[in-house]
Chains A and B, each alone.
Chain A
Amino acid sequence: MRRPQRRLHVLMWLAVAPAAIAGVYLALNNAPAVPAEPIADVIVTDTEQP
């Protein structure tokens, strides 16, 4: 690669890596303590009301 590309390559990773780490940290910090349970089989929504 030429020098401008080599510089851009480093600068992009210096931006992408901290942003991704911060994003994952924020997501995990805000994740629900107990993940949502699957919808119970008895619940149905596609039948006609009586």
Chain B
Amino acid sequence: MGIRHQAVQWNGAKIVYDLYMLAALAAFLAVFMIIGLRPHPNGHQADAVVLMIRALGTVSFLMLTITLMIGPLARFSPRFLPLLYNRRHLGVLTFLVATAHFGLSLIWYHGGGPLNPFVSLLVSNPLYKSPQGFPFEIFGLAAFVILFLMAATSHDFWLKNLSASVWKLLHMLVYAAFGLLVLHIAYGALMTEKSVVYPILVFAALALVAGSHLAAGLREWARDSGMKGVKAPDGWIDVCAPEDIPDKRAVIAPLPTGDRVAVFRDGGKIYAVENACRHQNGPLGEGCIKDGVITCPWHGWQYRPEDGVSPPPYEERISTHDVQLSPLGRVFVRVKKNPLGAAGKFASIEGAAS
């Protein structure tokens, strides 16, 4: 939490995770090069630089595919949440590998000539109207620009200054970048390959990423559509019975405003807070109460359940909602948020351990 300046935010777990990533990357490149440099039966040997360009492009696409799979997987199963916690470093490493692919390609194919390599990249193939010879590099260049913007603004400093909503909007461009990379491969490498394995692999990556995102997104859309039926004539909504909320966990309830509220139970007390974390709008209600504070499942940001304020030295705040128990033993939550930092009214369950 917080926005203290630090170029890369590391801790022990992230260092171990990064070392695993680097080891896997090195292993992939080594195996790719060893297999690719074996002499061909007809005596032809692949060029090492061209092979390295292919290896870097392949592994960066694979890394982006894995990065994009983490979000929907974490939506479907909390077992994948640790990957979400470390996703930003994987994304930045993907950008660095893509930069190596882009830089080496630029030098190898467009360097050394009379034209500036960047100009050469744009004008060397003018077949923009040809479906067969279309300059596939343009798709890759557009995707690279998006990845650059994302990597440049990946630090929490930018998240804080752009606001979570704008930052998230900017980073959703990665979906367009993925589509552009699929086209980059289709109009580039797939045009010269004889084997059907490569188109199948690209289609599989596209189907996995797009399918899982759409499945997770449409499920949320259906939940949002269900909110239309929520009525709160007196400004309060009936959420559930107290025993429906597992201890230290929450039930997420829709509000007529379109927002969601997370109703937590901590022993004998029931609290309600807005469901969006201040950091990246993560679903707080899918987190838990740890050491007395609500902990976001995405990156571990924490808030006190009684007033929605992060424990010192942090200062982030989320809104609380008032809670009351009806005589029939139902948990009611007030639709109107309390001002930021203001303590909400909580409900006590008689006889429950607090």
Contacts and interface: CB of A to CB of B under 8 A. Distances in A.
Nearest to B274: A2
B172 A8 contact: yes
A6 B72 CA distance: 12
Given A27-B191, A38-B44, A2 B217 contact: no
Nearest to A38: B44
A50 B174 CA distance: 54
A12 B203 CA distance: 18
Contact of A31 (B169, B178, B190, B281): B190
Interface SS majority for chain B: helix
Given A1-B281, A2-B276, A3-B258, A9 B183 contact: no
Contacts of A26: 131
A23 B190 CA distance: 12
B186 A27 contact: yes
A15 B13 CA distance: 37
Contact of B224 (A3, A35, A38): A3
Interface string B194-234: 10000100110010001001100110110010000000000
A10 interface: yes
A1 B199 contact: no
Interface size class for chain A?
Answer: 20 to 34
B195 to A, nearest CB: 10
A8 to B, nearest CB: 6
A47 interface: no
Contact of B210 (A8, A20, A29): A20
Interface residues of B, number: 38
Nearest to A11: B217
A9 B206 contact: no
Contact of A20 (B172, B183, B190, B213): B183
A18 to B, nearest CB: 9
B176 A12 contact: yes
A2 B224 CA distance: 10
B125 interface: no
Given A1-B276, A16-B179, A24 B186 contact: yes
Given A10-B221, A32-B191, A35-B192, A23 B259 contact: no
Interface of B: 44, 131-132, 165, 168-169, 172, 175-176, 178-179, 182-183, 186-187, 190-194, 199, 202-203, 206, 210, 213-214, 217-218, 220-221, 224, 258-259, 276, 281-283
9 contacts: A6-B224, A7-B221, A12-B175, A17-B179, A20-B178, A23-B179, A24-B182, A24-B202, A28-B190
